[in-house]
Structure 1
Amino acid sequence: MLNDIGTIYNFTYEIYVKPEDGMWGDLSNGTWRGMIGEVKREERDFCINVMAFTMEQFHVVDFSVPYTVDGFAVMLRNPLPPPRWWSIVFPLSWDTWVVLLIFVLLLPLPLYLLIKAHEESKASLSRMYLEVVRIILRQDAVQLSSAASVRIFSGTWWLAAMVLFISYTGNLVAYITVPAKPQMLTTVEQLVETDIIPMVPDYGTVAPAFLMASEDRTLRILGKKLLLISAESYQDGFDLLEEGRYAFLDGAEYLRYTAIMHRVTNVYFLKETFFPPSISWIFPKYTAWKHKFDLYLQRFVESGLIDFWKKWLTEDVRKKMNLTESKVDAQQGPRPLNLDDLKSIFFVYLVGILVVVVAGVLEL
């Protein structure tokens, strides 16, 4: 944008990467610091940055027409995949397992009472438990009784068990051959319910004040949990992020850019952002030629060049740094099963052997 406007108006420029105090721009002890302070005192002609502005800033500097909308985003480390030896339980949810266990424990009792009501002398409660489990495992069914009520009861359970067995085995094949995706957070509400600590660099950003003053309870909780870290080194923050117990909070565009420059790839962003402000260039108050910049900034927005440039620059920087965006849900092609895929089966078998040993000792 600056190159094109400079060519149109025939001016050159010198870029300062950051202000001398390293701050974005806040009021401290009656003095404006950071980029806002330097522009206000006309130490700089104008400022280009992805920065949300407040009403206090609006009174001391001028802002151009907005050229994009940005918001505060939260970056987290990609979650670790669930252990593969749990693959044997993944096909059914935990509440389904609980309901199935309740059925297995309770069904033998009414079945036993029905058979006893017809004076079947061979009936026993332990045998009814074996018959219920036999049906779940799709073993050959035996005739428990010739009574119609017993046959209807057994047939209904056989039908339900067949659906459960087919559903389980079908999902089991999928979970063994394709690793389960790790659970990723998507909203701020989910984030505050975890033990993850959000952190933000202490360079005068308005995020802590916005969060603490928010009328939204979730955002206020996020603000109370917020950890301020040194603004001198983003690398320290990314090192904490790698531990998995911290989350990085900052402006979405700036955070993405900083992550690229620090070669951080094993991360993802919450889909939900908050406080989406309009982003503008910053000029000294009552700058006479601000409208000249407004004209072309508006044209850049209307033509779609802003979005094109952001996408192109991001891809260009990644390409030059030989970086690829990490994808935790990348699909794998066909492959042979290995021991890691089937270790849950051996674990179950080992548990069965231990139960046999205990039962054998008790029988002595």
Structure 2
Amino acid sequence: MCGHSVNVTALPFSPYWITSEEEVNGAIVTSYSGTDYFMLQEIGSALNFTVNILPTEDWDEVIQKLEARESFIASVIFAVLPHRLDRYDFTYAFEYGSPTFSMKKPTLRPKWESLYYPFSGGVWMATLAILLIVPVIFLLMDTLINLQLQTGGTARNTFAEVLQEVVGIFLGQTSGNKFPNKTSVRILLCSWLLFSFIVVTVYKGNLTAYLTLPKYPPRAETLEELVKIADRQVQPLI
């Protein structure tokens, strides 16, 4: 190649190949830059050859000139794929990339939905079930205690009253002392107070975190998840 001019085809593809035009003395002058262009210039300087850029309109023309041997090299980064190895010769791989998929950024959900973000659906269902079961246990204990005291064997409070008392304790309100003054009832009441304290404390902490840092909907992280949420993927194969 000593002293020869080497035909090259390329299209603007920043930062590898950048084309700019400016007017000089009434004429449009095209100048080139970019990592691939500068690399070719350095190689040409070391091996004593010059670069002649062939004008092209699109990638199809770039490849056509390359396959017809009008161009010696297409100096733009190309991914080395199996089907391309059958058609082209590649230079030494001088740059490695990590392919990724680009998708629209998920939009934030409404703020009011943050009220149930702190817990998962299973936790909410379990908490609701406990809120309904605990009053029943209190009523049964009240009935058994009254039966032992031979007062007719009926509970002193209705289910609605006990439910109101249990929910009030869960929300941090003061107990109205409607439960029998027995050790078993006190143990159950203390257990309920401890449970309510833990659940409410965790909820408040998680709610503060969710309100402080916005929560985005889950996004695809694997190829299987991408196939499930995306209707179509298009990749040009040159």
Give the TM-score normalised by structure 1. 0.47
Distance between the aligned counterparts of 1:102 and 1:16, measured in 2? 75
Per the alignment, residue 237 of structure 2 pairs with 204
Amino acid aligned to 1:102: A
The number of residues matched between the two structures is: 192
Distance between the aligned counterparts of 1:60 and 1:184, measured in 2? 37
Matched, 1:97 2:116: no
- Assess if the C-alpha contact under 8 Å between 1:19 and 1:38 holds in 2: no
Per the alignment, residue 10 of structure 1 pairs with 48
Query: CA RMSD for the aligned pairs?
Result: 2.5
Indicate the structure whose relative CO is greater, using CA pairs within 8 Å and at least 6 residues apart.
1
In structure 2, list runs of 5 or more residues that go unmatched: 1-38, 147-153
Amino acid aligned to 2:143: K
Deviations 1:187-231 (A, max 9, x none): 22222222x323325x435xxxxxxxxxxxxxxxxxxxxxxxxxx
Distance between the aligned counterparts of 1:78 and 1:17, measured in 2? 37
- Assess if the C-alpha contact under 8 Å between 1:115 and 1:145 holds in 2: yes
Matched, 1:161 2:188: no
Single out whichever of 156-165 and 85-94 deviates more from structure 2.
85-94
Q: How far apart are 1:68 and its partner, in Å?
A: 2.3
In structure 1, list runs of 5 or more residues that go unmatched: 24-33, 206-364
Distance between the aligned counterparts of 2:97 and 2:202, measured in 1? 45
Distance between the aligned counterparts of 2:55 and 2:112, measured in 1? 51
Max Rg structure: 2
Per the alignment, residue 185 of structure 1 pairs with 220
Deviations 1:164-201 (A, max 9, x none): 1111122223333443344333222222222x323325
Matched, 1:126 2:153: no
Per the alignment, residue 28 of structure 2 pairs with none
Amino acid aligned to 1:93: S
Q: Which structure: greater helix fraction?
A: 1
Distance between the aligned counterparts of 1:17 and 1:113, measured in 2? 90
Q: How far apart are 1:88 and its partner, in Å?
A: 1.6
Distance between the aligned counterparts of 2:67 and 2:101, measured in 1? 31
Distance between the aligned counterparts of 2:180 and 2:55, measured in 1? 86
Alignment of 1:1-364 (within 5 A): 1-16=39-54, 22-23=59-60, 35-119=62-146, 121-143=155-177, 144-194=179-229, 196-201=230-235, 203-205=236-238
Per the alignment, residue 347 of structure 1 pairs with none
Give the TM-score normalised by structure 2. 0.69
Q: How far apart are 1:151 and its partner, in Å?
A: 1.4
Amino acid aligned to 2:158: S
User: SS where residue 69 of structure 1 aligns?
Assistant: coil
Q: How far apart are 1:59 and its partner, in Å?
A: 4.2
